[in-house]
Amino acid sequence: MLPGVPVSLTLIIVVTAVVYIRGWFHSTLPAWRAASFFLGLFFIWVAAASPIASFDDRMLTAHMIQHVLLMTFAPPLIWLGEPVKALLDRSHDREEAMFLNEAPVSASRLMWIQQFGRVLGNPAFCWLSAAVALAAWHVPALLLLGMHSQAWHLVEHGSFLVTGLLFWWPVVQPWPSVPRWPRWSMLLYLFFATLPCDVLSGLLVFSDRIAYPMYISMPRQSGFSVLEDQQCAAAVMWTCVTLVFLVAGTILSMQLLSPSFRANETLPERSPKVVEAI
């Protein structure tokens, strides 16, 4: 990674954190959501701007850790932080807004945001985007391109983060997401999402051939051979993704079985209030 890039990425992450915390202080969101958002930002920093980022062109395991952090760990934590709501929820400003005879958030603005959330949150599109990004960037030619080009390296990491955010959007359902499929279908959504990961991990773990020859000429940073590094990288992805999806599926199952969820499912659908939607 070129000198100065980690500093720039760190600055962007810090600015994002400042903007979020400023909105959070004026919102009614609990503290655990802010903690979740900051942990997600921290994982992004570890993957893209920390010292570990300098090893991704020398060890496939380091490269895989970056991918897992950007696609699997950071996105759900970011969405659990309700970033959009933190920026738009101005509960403490309502008295001032009423004095000025203004709505805290305009009706047209809320409708536009909710419509955007509905279009963006199509589970089929979100699932396919993540699967394509995962498969494409593990093709040896594209991985080599990302290693030799700083611009493509940033595109690679950006695509992992963006598709990771898309993938977790219908699962976490942060505001202003609008459910497109029944909630129980997210269990199948997560299950089928493990299949591309399982196939890729299995090929790398059980293969006796080196899939990424570009690492042969790189100086070794550990006692691992290139093939052992490849197997370790696959094991990291296989284990971490399976564990995170299992935790998410367990939480979803508990929600589906809770009496409060079943009670809400039986209530008639009501139109949301525009001004008080957040």
pLDDT confidence bin for 268, thresholds 50/70/90 = very low
Looking at the chain, the whole-number percentage of residues with pLDDT higher than 70 is 79
Domain assignment present for residue 100? The answer is no
157-184 confidence digits (pLDDT tens): 999 999 999 999 999 999 888 788 899 9
State if pTM tops 0.75. yes
Of 78, 10, 14, the C-alpha closest to 45 is 10
Domain assignment present for residue 44? The answer is yes
Angle value at C-alpha 247, between 182 and 129, nearest 5 degrees: 60
Domain assignment present for residue 271? The answer is no
What is the pLDDT of the chain when averaged over all its residues? 83
Q: Which long-range contacts (CB under 8 A, 24 or more apart) does 258-262 make?
A: 261/183
Domain assignment present for residue 195? The answer is yes
How far is residue 197's CA from residue 267's CA, in Å, rounded to a whole number? 38
27-39 mean pLDDT = 95
Domain assignment present for residue 235? The answer is yes
47-68 mean pLDDT = 87
Parent domain of 79: 5-87+123-216+224-264
In this prediction, residue 157 carries a pLDDT of 94
Domain assignment present for residue 270? The answer is no
Domain assignment present for residue 103? The answer is no
In this prediction, residue 96 carries a pLDDT of 43
How many structural domains are present in the chain? 1
Domain assignment present for residue 10? The answer is yes
